[in-house]
Each structure stands twice: as C-alpha cells, then as structure tokens.
C-alpha cells in the first residue's frame, strides 16, 4: 500500500529537508553517540586552516606526485 505524504511548501522550499525511513533514522541516532569527536588544540585548528588555504590556492601534491618524490628519495645515497 502506497502512502501519500504532504510536505508544506514552507518546509520543502528550504534545503534542509531530509526524508529517510524511520528505522534508518533510529539507527543514525544510536550511532551518533558511538562516534567520538576529538577536541582540537588551537595549534591543530591553525594547521587545518593553513592546509585548507593551501589546498584552495592549489598548493598540494597528488598521490602520484608524492609517490614519485618518495621513490626518488630512496635512490639517493645517505651520508
């Protein structure tokens, strides 16, 4: 049997409406308490902000570039 649900235009007009089955919602609520969130230090927050700025500016290496650089460092002789 199909059920029809009317969603008020006021609620549907916003981008924050999510519809999921009740069982999935209940599982989500249970898991919410199982996830531990680390509290960041001021230094960690600054480092994350800096990395986000560098990423936005295009200052990053792809995995392929990193692997190439690391592979090249193994061929060097150590002093």
For every one of its 79 residues, what pLDDT tens digit does the chain have, with 9 covering 90 and above? 677 788 877 777 777 778 888 999 888 888 877 767 788 999 999 999 999 999 999 999 999 999 999 998 765 554 4
- In angstroms, the CA 67 to CA 28 distance is 38
Domain segments of the chain as ranges = 42-73
CB-CB contact of 54 with 60 (8 Å): yes
Q: Which residues contact 11 (CB under 8 A, 6 or more apart)?
A: 17
Q: Which residues contact 40 (CB under 8 A, 6 or more apart)?
A: 48
pLDDT at res. 46: 96
CB atoms within 10 A of CB 37: 5
pLDDT at res. 77: 52
pLDDT at res. 72: 84
Name the DSSP letter for residue 52: H
Q: Encoding tokens for residue 5?
A: 């649900």
């Amino acid at each position: 049997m199909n059920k029809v649900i009317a969603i008020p235009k006021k609620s549907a007009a916003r981008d924050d409406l999510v519809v999921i089955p009740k069982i999935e919602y209940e599982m989500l609520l249970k898991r919410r308490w199982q996830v531990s969130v680390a509290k960041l230090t001021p230094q960690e927050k600054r480092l994350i902000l800096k990395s986000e700025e560098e990423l936005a500016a295009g200052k990053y290496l792809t995995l392929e570039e990193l692997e190439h650089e690391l592979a090249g460092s193994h061929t060097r002789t150590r002093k």
